[in-house]
Amino acid sequence: MTGSADRRVTANISLSLDGHYSGPGGPGDMGAIVSYATTDVARGHLARIHENATTAVLGRLNAQGFLGFWPTVAADENADPRDRGYAKWLTDAEKVVFSTTLTESPWDRTRVVNAPAAEVIAGLKADGEGEILVNSSASVIKDLLAADLIDRLYLMICPEITGGGRRLFVDGLPASKWKLTHHETGELGEMAVVYDRVR
């Protein structure tokens, strides 16, 4: 399939109020995030992120974590329809997993790559159709922000200060300008925001 180089690259991630995607306890410290994952605003956001996407890009940790959770949601007739819709999309979509250690694809329709993110994304943009969603994988998102290859950011801002942890927006990123194209606030104070890159 031959596409055009204008496939939009989008990225989805949840952040604490002080900009962390995990707390001071390490990558698994997600307490400030998970409390808001099942709100109406969060579920609407989840439905929005994959609307036009045909390719999911993941880091190894997320790919393995998602594999243990989302296929069961896709098969659960009692699951929230928004969760189930996302789960079915993720299971069926083309997936690219960045890893230096995996030797086999963890999922069907999955390709494991060990190469610079900017190179891989440039290749995906040139071949295929639909949006490319970098799905909650901060290391990949950081690399693509550094290369100015992200066109849209889907952010869930959770109203908690973690006081430490890993940050998405680190010093040294190139300056860029963004336009707010969607925002929604939930009853718990969580915010779903969408920013498009202004070029």
DSSP secondary structure, the chain, as one string: ----TT--EEEEEEEETTSEEE-TT-TT--HHHHTTTTSHHHHHHHHHHTTTEEEEEEEHHHHHHHHTTHHHHHH-TTS-HHHHHHHHHHHHSEEEEE-SS--S-SSTTEEEE-S-HHHHHHHHHHSS-SEEEEES-HHHHHHHHHTT---EEEEEEES---SSSEESS-TTPPP-EEEEEEEEE-TTS-EEEEEEEE-
Within-domain flag for 3: no
Condensed to tens digits (0 to 9), the pLDDT of residues 100-146 reads 999 888 788 999 999 999 999 999 999 889 999 999 999 999 999 99
Tell me: pLDDT of 1 over 60: no
Residue 71 lies in a domain: yes
- Range 145-158 average pLDDT: 98
Higher pLDDT, 133 or 2: 133
What pLDDT does 5 receive?
Answer: 57
CATH number of the domain residue 134 falls in: 3.40.430.10
The residue that leads in pLDDT, 13 or 28, is 13
Q: What is the pLDDT of residues 76-106, one digit of tens each?
A: 999 999 999 999 999 999 999 999 999 888 7
Total count of domains within the chain: 1
The residue segments making up the domain with residue 103 are 9-198
Given a cut of 80, whether residue 177 has pLDDT beyond it is: yes
pLDDT score recorded for residue 27: 85
Residue 84 placed within a domain: yes
pLDDT tens profile 22-75: 999 988 899 999 999 999 999 999 999 999 999 999 999 889 888 889 999 999
> Is residue 2 one of the residues assigned to a domain?
no
